Amino acid sequence: MPAPRLTGRELESLRHTCAKHTTVPGRRVPDFLAKELVGKRREVRIIRVDSSVVIDRPPEEVFAYATDPAHTPEWQSSALETTVDGPVQAGAAGKELRKFLGRRMESTMRIEAFEPPRRFALQVTSGPVPFHVEQTVEPEGTGSLVSVTIEGEPGGFFKLADPLVERAVRRELEGNLATLKDILETRD
C-alpha cells in the first residue's frame, strides 16, 4: 500500500515549519531529510547551529588536525571515539561513539566532502540523530577562520527535549571550537 500523500495545507505547513527553522538559501528542507519526508504526515523541527573562531595557525595545520579522527576526542567534548574505514576522503565511511546529554550514541557516518585545506563535510547515515556537519577553513590574516554548521532533526528522546538539545548543541560547538583554538595555538 502506498504511503499517504500530504494534502496541500499539510505540505504548506511543512514548508513553513522547515523554512522557519532553516536559513539555507534555496532549500527549505536539507537534502538528507527530504527523502524521509515524502508521503509522511508529520511536522519537522530542524535544528541548525553555526559557530566560528579565528585560530592563529595556517589553514593547512588547522584542517589537518580538525579532520583527523584520532584527534576528534581531544577537542570535541562529547566524542568518545571516532574511526574511519580507510583513508579520510570523500565517500569514506566511519563510526562515532558520543555521550551527549547523558546518553551514549553510536552512529555511522559518510564523509561527503574532503577538500584540504578548505572544506570538510559529513553526514550521519544511521544513529539516534540524523545530522549533517559542514566545516570550512579560510585564511584570516596570518591564521584561519574556522566555521562549522550543524544541521539535523532530533528524534526519539532528543525530540522531546528539542529546545534543550538546540542550546546544548550550540554550547558544545562553541566550547569545542574554543578547545580547538587552545590546542592549536599552544602546541609547538
Q: Are 152 and 131 in contact (CB under 8 A)?
A: yes
- Range of weakest confidence among 16-25, 82-91, 113-122: 16-25
Q: Are residues 12 and 51 in the same domain?
A: no
Q: What is the mean pLDDT of the chain?
A: 81
Residue 127: the pLDDT is 84
Q: Are 132 and 123 in contact (CB under 8 A)?
A: yes
Q: Are residues 12 and 99 in the same domain?
A: no
Nearest by Cα to 121 from 159, 150, 155: 150
From residue 1, alpha-carbon distances to 4, 5, 34, 172 in Å are 9, 12, 21, 43
What span, in angstroms and rounded, lies between the C-alpha atoms of 45 and 135?
22
Q: Are residues 169 and 179 in the same domain?
A: yes
Note if the pTM is more than 0.85: no
CA–centroid distance for 90 within its chain: 16
Structural domain for 33, as ranges: 1-44
